[in-house]
Amino acid sequence: MWKEVADGVWHPVFTSPPGLHTASVNACAWAPHELGLLLAAGSSDGCISFTTCAQDGSWSPTKVERAHLLGVTSVSWAPPQPPGSLVAAGSGAPLVRRLASGGCDNAVKVWGFSDARGGWVEEHVLKGHADWVRDVAWAPNLGMPRNTIASAGQDGKVLIWTQADANGPWTSTLLADFRTVVWRVSWSAFGNVLAVADGSNNVSLWKEGPDGAWAQLADAPDPSA
């Protein structure tokens, strides 16, 4: 972790201890600011680490062993507000502490922090890709009554995963088969437009229509053509 201590001057404030990860760290992502200074990182050693900064400025790492047996490629935090909370009557809903991860085991996994267990637990394993999951992106919900995750695969597919209820199942929709590796997916600030970067040197934009079908907005070549 690095901090700007003066204009243009950056100093390291924390370095992960030896053994926290034993292979390349492939992804890292800060948690929403409502959860405090909390960083998740995924590694080729198959583990996901969580590093938290306490009020006294000290950093404390923990990790989930064997999160993805063949390696972790990507991590993405859920929005801190429960789905529908911004449009529902009343307020004061507890903050959400959930994370999506992608791995070389062709799976997307959803993790949640359990106060009862005092740590992170696997909630769901989402299987739909036939090769490595290269990236995952949890969409901002802005009060929408569902959870949405996009996943990009070495198999060329982008899947949209939705969960209507926080305790319910996840279902998948194929956005498109790009017929080449898809490296990254990223949501717009409102969570209604998805950017896709693929191995054919293209970035395309996609939006869901009222009928639930996804349509391309940009002028990049149609991947299905």
In angstroms, the CA 165 to CA 168 distance is 5
User: Token digits for 87?
Assistant: 């449009």
Q: How high is the pLDDT of residue 152?
A: 98
Residue matched to tokens 């017929």:
179
**What CA–CA distance (Å, rounded) separates 222 from 225?**
5
Q: Tell me, yes or no, if the pTM score tops 0.75.
A: yes
Give the per-residue pLDDT at 92.
65
| Interatomic CA distance for residues 89 and 106, integer angstroms | 40
Please check whether residue 222 is in contact with residue 216, taking contact to mean a CB–CB distance below 8 angstroms.
Answer: yes
- Looking at residue 93, its pLDDT comes to 74
C-alpha distance from residue 41 to each of 37, 49, 98, 142 (Å): 13, 5, 14, 25
Q: Express each pLDDT in 3-33 by its tens digit.
A: 999 999 999 999 999 999 999 999 999 999 9
- Provide the pLDDT for residue 211: 84
Q: How far is CA 138 from the centre of its chain?
A: 5
pLDDT the model gives residue 3 = 93
The CA distance from 76 to 27, in Å, is 9
Which CATH number is 19-216 given?
A: 2.130.10.10
Residue 220: predicted pLDDT:
55
Residues paired with 101 in a beta bridge: 75, 109
Instruction: Spell out the per-residue pLDDT of the chain, length 225, in tens.
Output: 999 999 999 999 999 999 999 999 999 999 999 999 999 999 999 999 999 999 998 999 999 999 999 999 999 999 998 887 665 544 567 899 999 999 999 999 999 999 999 999 999 999 999 999 999 999 998 767 899 999 999 999 999 999 998 789 999 999 999 999 999 999 999 898 999 999 999 999 999 888 888 999 966 566 665
The rounded radius of gyration (Å) of the Cα atoms in the chain is 18
- pLDDT computed for residue 153 by the predictor: 98
The domain spans of the chain are 19-216
